[in-house]
Amino acid sequence: MGAKIREIPAQLPRNFDRPDEPWHHYLTIDLIAKVFDYTILHPWVSWIVVICLRSQLTPYEATEMRVAFVWAILMTLRSMFGLINDKLAYGTPREVDLSEEVIVITGGVEGLGALIAEVYGMRNANVAVLDTKKVDLEEAEEKGIVYYECDVGDAKQVEEVAKEIVEDLGAPTILINNAGIVHVKSLLNSTAEEVEQTFRTNTLSHFNTIRSFLPYMITEGRGTIVTVSSVLGHLGAANLSFYTASKAALLAMHSSLRAELSQHPTGQDIKTILVTPGQMSTKMFNGVKTPSNFLAPIIAPVDVAKEIISLVEKGESGDVTVPLYSKYIQFLGILPLGMQVLVRRWCGVDRAMVDAGLVKGEKTKPAEKL
């Protein structure tokens, strides 16, 4: 008899939890952009068009041949510019072998963090999850994940857990800072304790984990640090003042971290990934609607997880900006103030929490974890 195969529990997406949507609901600008990237904007496809025209004996002087040539050259230059830009911005990718990596994920019991942790757990990687929520030992063994009960907003707790992880799994080389909470309240309704709790979990936790785990990465001469922020860090929003402020702080922190690692003598092979997703279909903002499903679709956490995992395993630095609008949202800041007011009114970012029924005077929604 061969060795017994370990059964891994898997919960498939339950489509019946979502209402049936018409076909055009799934037609978004993100889908169109992806199709274009793999077709008319792809250099190989552009040159295939030129080859096809020549196979039909189309003269070089013909208008369609000239247009195809110019387009293929432009798409090639565009692709080369992208490669050079990424090289200058992020450097050379590092080699990633999951069998030799130790992955630490904060806030990995639910939501986006849980998805990433379970994917790596199923692949027999060394995964440590830091969360305040307890997980049954049997469930942890089934998922192939080691859970540590830890408040990542407490520096001393993180330092102690870091020693345990090194002892149990080895030196951490991949850190995914995902923990986050939200209080849906107006600034006037907030309390000092709620503001402090939000910043401890959403912002200070990143400083605590980086201080604790980065020295091991520097010693190993390799590593990856993932910072999960939010598109709201660029925008701000009514009734989310301290949540958006805590996420905005991460944008500056991550830029400073990149700059410091670029100057460190052994920091070249420590990669950094900044994640600024739009609205995800998690319970954190359940019921909140975007102004346009075509321009600003609500994204599934699995789509964000795939982008993060892809960059981590390629050993690259980079930015995860999904859906498409989150990549260009910073351009809103260069518009005249009057235009910014009109755009905010149209998109409803400052009414979203009220319209979703999450803000009701003094009765506010309790904090929820990612």
**pLDDT per residue as tens digits for the range 316-363:** 999 999 999 999 999 998 999 999 999 999 999 999 998 888 885 544
Q: Annotated catalytic, 216? A: no
- Is the pLDDT at 93 greater than 90? The verdict is yes
**pLDDT exceeds cutoff 80 at 365:** no
Name the active-site residue from 243, 271, 325, 369: 243
Number of domains in the chain: 2
DSSP code per residue over 255-308? HHHHHHHHHSTT-TTEEEEEE----BSSGGGTT---S-TTTSPPBPHHHHHHHH
User: Does any domain span residue 1?
Assistant: no
pLDDT reported for residue 17: 47
Distance CA(7)–CA(18), nearest Å, equals: 28
Co-location of 166 and 63 in the same domain = no
Q: In whole angstroms, what is the distance from residue 321 CA to residue 33 CA?
A: 14
Mean pLDDT over 104-118 rounds to 95
Tokens describing residue 276: 């600024």
The answer on pLDDT for 10 being more than 80 is no
Domain that holds residue 51: 28-80
Catalytic residue flag (residue 325): no
Torsion of CA 233, 236, 239, 244, to 10 degrees: 20
| Nearest-angstrom CA–CA distance, 131 and 128 | 10
Do 313 and 167 share a structural domain?
yes
Q: Express each pLDDT in 298-316 by its tens digit.
A: 999 999 999 999 999 999 9
Cα first-last separation, the chain: 43
Reported as a single tens digit per residue, the pLDDT across 198-246 is: 999 999 999 999 999 999 999 999 999 999 999 999 999 999 999 999 9
At position 363, the amino acid (one-letter code) is: K
Q: What is the pLDDT of residue 162?
A: 97
- Kindly tell me if the per-residue pLDDT of 166 is higher than 60: yes
pLDDT at 15: 44
**pLDDT value at residue 102:** 97
Same domain, 152 and 225: yes
Two structure tokens written together for 227: 């910072």
| Contact status, residue 242 vs residue 190, Cβ threshold 8 Å | yes
Once rounded to an integer, what is the mean pLDDT over residues 98-127?
Answer: 95
Lowest mean pLDDT among 7-16, 64-73, 197-206, 253-262: 7-16
Residue 176: predicted pLDDT: 98
Residue in 143, 185, 247, 365 annotated catalytic: 247
Question: Taking a C-beta distance cutoff of 8 angstroms, is the pair 46, 69 a contact?
Answer: no
- The pLDDT value recorded for residue 14 is 47
Domain boundary, last residue among 36, 53, 80: 80
119: Cβ contacts below 8 Å, ≥ 6 apart: 305, 309
How high is the pLDDT of residue 254?
97
Retrieve residue 131's tokens. 């969360």
Quote the CA–CA distance of 330 and 346 in Å, as a whole number.
Answer: 17
- Rounded to the nearest integer, the mean pLDDT of the chain is 90
Q: Is residue 194 part of a domain?
A: yes
Question: Based on the domain organization, do 251 and 219 belong to the same domain?
Answer: yes
Element (DSSP H or E) covering residue 183:
strand 181-184
The mean pLDDT value for 48-71 works out to 95
CATH of the domain at 242: 3.40.50.720
* Domain-embedded: residue 21: no
Please report, for residues 28, 297, 327, the alpha-carbon distance to residue 25 in angstroms, rounded to integers and kept in the order given.
Answer: 8, 9, 22
Q: Is residue 255 part of a domain?
A: yes
- The C-alpha atoms of residue 317 and residue 309 are separated, in whole angstroms, by 12
| pLDDT on residue 366 | 52
pLDDT-derived band at 11, boundaries 50, 70, 90: low
Per DSSP, the three-state class of 236 is coil
- Average pLDDT of span 148-153: 96
Contact 342, 47 (CB under 8 A): no
Per-residue confidence band for 364, with pLDDT thresholds at 50, 70 and 90: very low
In whole angstroms, give the CA distance from residue 60 to residue 103. 55
With contact defined as beta carbons under 8 Å apart, do 136 and 153 qualify?
no
